[in-house]
Amino acid sequence: MINLWKQRSLLFYFSVLNIKLRYKNTYLGFLWTALEPLLYFTILYIVFSTIREREEYFAIYLISGIMFFHLFVRGTSGGITSIIGNDRILKSLKINREIFPVVSTLSIAILGVVDLGIFLVLMPIFNFIPPVTILLIPISFLLLFGLILGLSYFLSIATIYLRDLQPFWGIFSHSLLFISPVFWKLENVSGTVLTQIHSINPLGQIIEITHHFAIYGNLPPLNEFLYTTLIVLGILFTGYAIFNRLESKITERI
């Protein structure tokens, strides 16, 4: 971790390069960063606004969940290929292997600034005045990026041994849209299987913390916040420990 900080300029360079490669040969290029979550939002808003038309600030509730869901999917899908996608570099250069999951996560963090800008722009459009607690939303982003990095460490090394993990993760990560509080509220599903799933779904918990900061205008219950933080830290350190243990075998496996 200390070595990564010493190489922060290299990390930033590779992160920007990663973003450029992501949208290479597309007509709209970097604009897709903003268009992807907006398209998700537009489709879901059209579908669910007729069902929940009387619910106040549903549009802001929806876009906040989509923002975090979309960053999570992009982040983990990039993280899972961060090693096998750079196999030529790893074979030809002596480079710190743990830099690649970090670069993938840092790239998503940069794109997250764009998504946050969209979120703030949509607020006045839907006549929503944000509470002062929205200033705490960077905490939600830190939790999200910690979760993405921890999973990227684990997934990037695991997919070397099990290539079927990549398509499976694509299906699983997109399914989180339906089992996270993006277009439904916890109080509306209390006592159902969704409540039980939410208790072990760190992405859903982070989204709910964001709702407290950005919409409800209050702090999440302390026990729920600490629980989510511990889960994220557990995933981060476990993912790093597994990666650190197996990274010496990367070159011979890819």
Domain borders along the chain are 2-253
In the predicted structure, residue 38 carries a pLDDT above the cut 80: no
The answer to whether 157 and 242 have CB atoms below 8 angstroms apart is: yes
Q: How far is CA 107 from CA 39, 76, 193, in A?
A: 21, 11, 35
For residue 246, give every residue at least 6 positions away whose Cβ sits within 8 Å of its Cβ, in sequence order, or none.
157
The answer to whether 184 and 110 have CB atoms below 8 angstroms apart is: no
What count of other Cβ atoms lies within 10 Å of the Cβ of residue 99? Answer: 19
Say how many Å lie between the first and final Cα of the chain, rounded: 24
- Of the candidate ranges 5-14, 43-52, 166-175, 238-247, the one whose mean pLDDT is the lowest: 5-14
What integer is the mean pLDDT of 186-202? 83
How does residue 113 score in pLDDT terms, banded at 50, 70 and 90? Answer: confident
Alpha carbons 161 and 157: distance in angstroms, whole number? 7
Torsion angle of alpha carbons 100, 162, 228, 189, nearest 10°? 130
- Tell me the percentage of the chain whose pLDDT exceeds 70: 75
Alpha carbons 71 and 42: distance in angstroms, whole number? 17
Alpha carbons 64 and 107: distance in angstroms, whole number? 20
In the predicted structure, residue 2 carries a pLDDT above the cut 50: no
Selection from 200, 165, 166 nearest residue 180 by Cα: 200
**According to the model, what pLDDT value does residue 32 have?**
61
The pTM of this model reads 0.83
- Of the candidate ranges 7-16, 182-191, 214-223, the one whose mean pLDDT is the lowest: 7-16
